[in-house]
Amino acid sequence: MKVHLGGHLSLYAPERRANFEVRLAGPAAVRELVALWGIPAGEVFLATVSHVVVDLDTAVVADGDLLSLYPPAGGG
């Protein structure tokens, strides 16, 4: 599975890279992966699986998917 961590979330990625790959043994809950990578749940504002917006609490991914996570955006 390919992973993209947007914005400052890349600080939680292996080698602090925004894009990396993960090999999954089977389907995995996105919420569990976020916890495994040490990303605080409140830091994820938007999650997509293969470019489709998903609910962080119920989404599941598998090999072949692209999981993208984005933090809240700020500015003015």
Mean pLDDT in consecutive groups of 10 residues from the start of the chain, 76 residues: 96 91 96 95 94 97 97 79
Quote the number of domains for the chain: 1
pLDDT for the residue numbered 76:
62
The structure's pTM equals: 0.92
Angstrom distance (rounded) from CA 53 to CA 9? 17
In a domain, 75, yes or no: no
Q: What is the CATH number of the domain that holds 45?
A: 3.10.20.30
Domain assignment of residue 35, yes or no: yes
- Sort residue 51 into left (φ over 0), alpha (ψ -120 to 50) or beta: left
